[in-house]
Amino acid sequence: MKLTLKIWRQDGPNAKGDFVTYQVDDILPDMSFLEMLDVLNERLIAEGTEPIAFDSDCREGICGMCGLMISGYAHGPKQTTTCQLHMRSFSDGETITIEPWRADPFPVIRDLVVDRSAFDRIIASGGFISVNTGSAPEAHAAPVPKENADRAFVAAECIGCGACVAACPNASAMLFTAAKVTHLGELPQGQPERYSRVVSMLNQHDAEGFGGCTNIGECSAACPKGIPQDVISTLNADLRHALRTGR
């Protein structure tokens, strides 16, 4: 495959960035998108040019590190992570534009790498659960209805990649925050701090500079794990309860 790549290059957080155009003509359809960037970087290094900085870790669709905006889509035209996007999703001769996530709370570190530590601070603001630790409890000591368990598992699939923020015109992280709130809110272990947790996490969400949710739905459409939008309904219900009861 022969492709034209328009890639955002930026030397550092305070440097002025711009798109640089590259031609690649040795790309196999079964390569992943990141492998394609590896091929380009190997060529740039051989030419004595600074390689393109981009994030990756597991390359198995688990860690959420590989987020890129690809031709206007978070993670590309398929609902998957960038590392699991294959070049057969593109056409020979196509021009592909590659950018970092565009959101003020995700400042660019270099090229395609952004700082997503705002997500870490939102999670940290939720605190800990106050259940006792020790030996493993009996399997049926705290029965969880299947509906609640299933929903907790769905919410827990969030990998914190930031695609929801990148896809949202408001740069809202509400889907991410709601997934973390719902994950614990559906389980017995998460009940003692359930309502104080949602208030703390939403306050941190707003303090980080993320926008508000206007229920457009781009977040769920872009989420590689398919986190449903109804987790935001759970967050809103918990927030109303917290404000009404003062808990």
**SS3 per residue for the chain:** CCEEEEEEECCCCCCCCEEEEEEECCCCCCCEHHHHHHHHHHHHHHCCCCCCCCCCCCCCCCCCCCCCEECCEECCCCCCCHHHCEHHHCCCCCEEEEECCCCCCCCEEECCEECCHHHHHHHHHCCCCCCCCCCCCCCCCCCCCHHHHHHHHHHHCCCCCCHHHHHCCCCCCHHHHHHHHHHHHCCHHHCCCHHHHHHHHHHHHHHCCCCCCCCCCHHHHHCCCCCCCHHHHHHHHHHHHHHHHCC
In angstroms, rounded to a whole number, what is the distance separating the alpha carbons of residues 234 and 246? Answer: 18
In angstroms, rounded to a whole number, what is the distance separating the alpha carbons of residues 223 and 226? Answer: 5
Q: What is the pLDDT along the chain (247 residues), one digit of tens a residue?
A: 999 999 999 999 999 999 999 999 989 999 999 999 999 999 999 999 999 999 999 999 999 999 999 999 999 999 999 999 999 999 999 999 999 999 999 999 999 999 999 999 999 999 887 766 677 777 677 789 999 999 999 999 999 999 999 999 999 999 999 999 999 999 988 999 999 999 999 999 999 999 999 999 999 999 999 999 999 999 999 999 999 997 6
In angstroms, rounded to a whole number, what is the distance separating the alpha carbons of residues 86 and 58? Answer: 16
In angstroms, rounded to a whole number, what is the distance separating the alpha carbons of residues 200 and 209? Answer: 15
Q: Where are the domains of the chain?
A: 3-110, 117-245
Enter the tokens of residue 51: 């390689």
pLDDT value at position 5? 98
pLDDT value at position 141? 76
**3-110: what CATH class?**
alpha beta
pLDDT value at position 128? 83
pLDDT value at position 138? 74
Place of tokens 């399997």: 139
What's the CATH number for 117-245? 1.10.1060.10
Pairing relationship of beta strands 3-9 and 95-99 according to DSSP bridges = parallel
In angstroms, rounded to a whole number, what is the distance separating the alpha carbons of residues 243 and 70? Answer: 40
pLDDT value at position 152? 96
Q: Could you tell me the pTM of the whole model?
A: 0.93
pLDDT value at position 246? 74
pLDDT value at position 120? 97
